[in-house]
Amino acid sequence: MDVNDSIIHIKGIGTAKEKLFNILNIFTIMDLIEHYPITYEDRTQIQLTNEVVLGSKALLKGKIITSPEVRKIRNNLNITKAIAQDESGQFQLIWYNTPYMKNSIVLGEFYYFYGKINRTHGQIQIEMPEYAEINNNKKIFGIFPKYKLTKGLSQNDIRKSINQVINNVDIDDYLNNDLVKKFELYELKQAYKHIHFPESYRQLNTARDRLILNEFLETQLAFKYMKNEKLKNSNALRFSINREVMTKIDRLVNSLPFELTLSQKNVLDELYEDLRNDIPINRLIQGDVGSGKTILAVIMLLICHLNGYQGVIMVPTEILAEQHYKYIESLFSRLEIKANIALMTKFKSSKTRLETLSKVSSGKYDLIIATHGVIQRDVEFLNLGLVITDEQHRFGVKQRKQLTNKGKNPHVIVMSATPIPRTISLSLYGDLDISTINVLPAGRKPIQTYCVNTTYRNRIYKFIDEEINKGRQAYILCPSIEINEKLNSAVEIYESLKKGIFKDVSIDILHGKINNEEKEKTMRLFYENKIKVLICTTVVEVGINVPNATIMLIENAERFGLAQLHQLRGRVGRGNEQSYCMLLTDNKSNTVQERMNVLVQSTDGFYISQRDLELRGPGDYFGFNQHGLPGFKLADLSKHQDILLTANNIVEYIMESGNKDIEFKILDVFNNKLKQISMN
């Protein structure tokens, strides 16, 4: 039996049942084998009647002390009852519409019973228990898998089908015996068998670890292969960084109102080194909020322009695109650097759009600042040399590739203000070199963060008023726009504050439903300190830079993840004045309080990101589907970091040893999973 055979070949699966399995995305025997249990029932511990917990399931051993009796309640209902006894007491057994049970269990014999425990009229009961004879207990005793189902399929249907094939199918382990022995791995076929039918929890955990390792192996090797192939097959565009270019870079850097940090200089050196070695830049630059990634992007765009190529930077929001556009245009103008810069967000008319596209494709625009619309098919470049993706976590691998493919092997830089734990970066950005800015600019004071309940709201408003009187500004951030029974909305708070404590203060509102012209106007007025308090939603999460803002008040803070809260907090603390972040929540759960305390105690984005991963799991913020990658069925980046590092070591060993046969086998598995994603 082959793993690629259709499940229709399995005994007991006909056309009708095959369709039910298909609903669960089970089409082949391998799909069935990889339909892993979602949990397990522990039927290894026999309990006594006086130990059981009402409402839970339990395994009891008892002697039948009353003959089973069948009573007809009505035409379509009959009940079979019997009493069993163990050394601590009696329990009643009840079966519905199964009159044959009268002859299935025998007075005076011992049996195992498994089911949900209830108590009626003071007596312990098990309704519809599974049962087995003492000498034939395999069907009830042990660790039992529980699977995701669909209507019409039972747990037994899936168990029986897997049991039929697990010992008869040929499963090819792409790791050879030498590798299995060297890294002390569990044999793959046994791992598949024992993930479904473990004889002990130790065996189950060992099997699961091997299958998790395989999931990591596939992504790790695929990324490293992509990286190596890119280095081998692409002719790097030559960006000269000669004396003339460096002189202009020095002029730009010296014109800045701040000095580059040592960390920023180190990242620049890594980029220069790539260029000197004629290596195509393929690099992730990650740094905490406000660490100074944008100026590095500007320097690289300048190098690109001075070498006669077009450069593009793609950002997730129009506000951020406009901010970058104005900053770069102003900087270049001040330094008398001649460059035609295009802003590609939403166009006022199709005519304007076509004119802009024409100038981009003919090379009349040198630098392009854009949102994701730049990846559309009709956007073409004359000689694209550099692609920068800002706030990379907002885009997927597919979008990044679509933009890169618009040039002939352009240099690629992706930037993220969401510090990424090493395990995540290995899995999501394994095809990239990684540079880290881990020092904030000098003069920045750590943001003071407090978590309080809503009884403090008026005191916070008074504190905001005091800061406004000092010439400062504040954000009040809400999780929703419209009035909501459970959440404090931006509209509701705005209406309340402009009539209340801030009635004499310039106050405005900003959210996703406001048109672009109004958004731009509001942000400009806030930047110019003409708006003192900005009521907003997460539209301000990315890239908004207002150094004079010193307070961020976040309503219903429990609604956000740690990494997102850290991003939002990063909208303040960008100047030299002391800044504050207030996390407002009435949720007293231990989980919420633990998360809030992480932010109160730390401003280190890398630590916060790691804790976010541990407390929430990767799916909330670093989703694989978002990145266009095969999702994990068993692996969890927050729990299995040690296995990921082992997988990385194995991949490096395979590639260094030059074993192409193993490489291509693993890549084949990975590519098949990619195809399944594109088909769905």
DSSP state of 532: S
Higher pLDDT: 31 or 428? It is 31
Q: Which of 677, 673, 670 is nearest to 226 (CA)?
A: 670
In angstroms, how far apart are the furthest CA atoms of the chain? 101
What phi and psi, each to the nearest 5 degrees, are found at residue 152?
105, -15
**pLDDT for 139-148, tens place per residue?**
888 999 999 9
Higher pLDDT: 366 or 523? It is 366
Task: Please check whether residues 459 and 598 belong to one and the same domain.
Answer: yes
Report pLDDT for 677.
46
Task: Please check whether residues 452 and 382 belong to one and the same domain.
Answer: no
Per-residue pLDDT at 403 exceeds 50: yes
Report pLDDT for 393.
55
* CATH number, residue 65: 2.40.50.140
**pLDDT for 52-103, tens place per residue?**
999 999 999 999 999 999 999 888 899 999 999 999 999 999 999 999 999 9
| For residues 162-185, average pLDDT | 91
Per-residue pLDDT at 29 exceeds 60: yes
| For residues 281-299, average pLDDT | 89
In whole angstroms, give the CA distance from residue 165 to residue 35. Answer: 13
Start-to-end CA distance of the chain, whole Å, equals: 27
Share of the chain above pLDDT 90, in %: 57
Task: Please check whether residues 466 and 348 belong to one and the same domain.
Answer: no
Report pLDDT for 629.
53
- Domain-embedded: residue 590: yes
Q: 197-205 long-range CB contacts below 8 Å, 24 or more apart?
A: 197/145, 197/163, 197/166, 198/40, 198/143, 199/142, 199/143, 200/143, 201/143, 204/40, 204/143
Task: Please check whether residues 249 and 358 belong to one and the same domain.
Answer: yes
- Domain-embedded: residue 214: no
Predicted confidence band of residue 230 (pLDDT cuts 50, 70, 90): low
Q: CA-CA distances (angstroms) from residue 568 to 21, 53, 337, 605?
A: 44, 46, 34, 12
Task: Please check whether residues 344 and 490 belong to one and the same domain.
Answer: no
Rounded (5°) CA angle 402-407-411: 95
Mean residue pLDDT of the chain comes to 88
Tell me which of 602, 622, 654 is where a domain ends: 602
Report pLDDT for 282.
86
- Domain-embedded: residue 375: yes
Tally of domains within the chain: 3
pTM of the model: 0.70
Tell me which of 121, 140, 159 is where a domain ends: 140
Strand 89-96 and strand 77-86: the pairing is antiparallel
Task: Please check whether residues 510 and 592 belong to one and the same domain.
Answer: yes
CB 41 within 8 A of CB 146: yes
**pLDDT for 521-565, tens place per residue?**
888 899 899 999 999 988 876 657 888 999 999 999 999 888 889
Instruction: Choose the weakest-confidence range: 254-258, 328-332, 638-642.
Output: 638-642
Task: Please check whether residues 386 and 311 belong to one and the same domain.
Answer: yes
Which residue range(s) make up the domain with 476? Answer: 448-602
Q: CA torsion angle for 535, 540, 545, 550 (degrees, to 10)?
A: 40
DSSP state of 289: T
| For residues 247-269, average pLDDT | 93
- Domain-embedded: residue 625: no
Task: Please check whether residues 394 and 489 belong to one and the same domain.
Answer: no
Report pLDDT for 617.
57
Task: Please check whether residues 407 and 468 belong to one and the same domain.
Answer: no
Predicted confidence band of residue 622 (pLDDT cuts 50, 70, 90): very low
- For the chain, the C-alpha Rg in angstroms (whole number) is 32
Tell me which of 602, 622, 644 is where a domain ends: 602
Report pLDDT for 28.
94
Instruction: Choose the weakest-confidence range: 77-81, 114-118, 390-394, 436-440.
Output: 390-394
Predicted confidence band of residue 484 (pLDDT cuts 50, 70, 90): low
* CATH number, residue 256: 3.40.50.300
CB 387 within 8 A of CB 412: yes
Per-residue pLDDT at 608 exceeds 50: yes
Higher pLDDT: 65 or 274? It is 65
Report pLDDT for 673.
66
Task: Please check whether residues 401 and 498 belong to one and the same domain.
Answer: no
Token pair for 588 = 């007293």
- Domain-embedded: residue 608: no
| For residues 424-446, average pLDDT | 77
Predicted confidence band of residue 396 (pLDDT cuts 50, 70, 90): low
- Domain-embedded: residue 482: yes
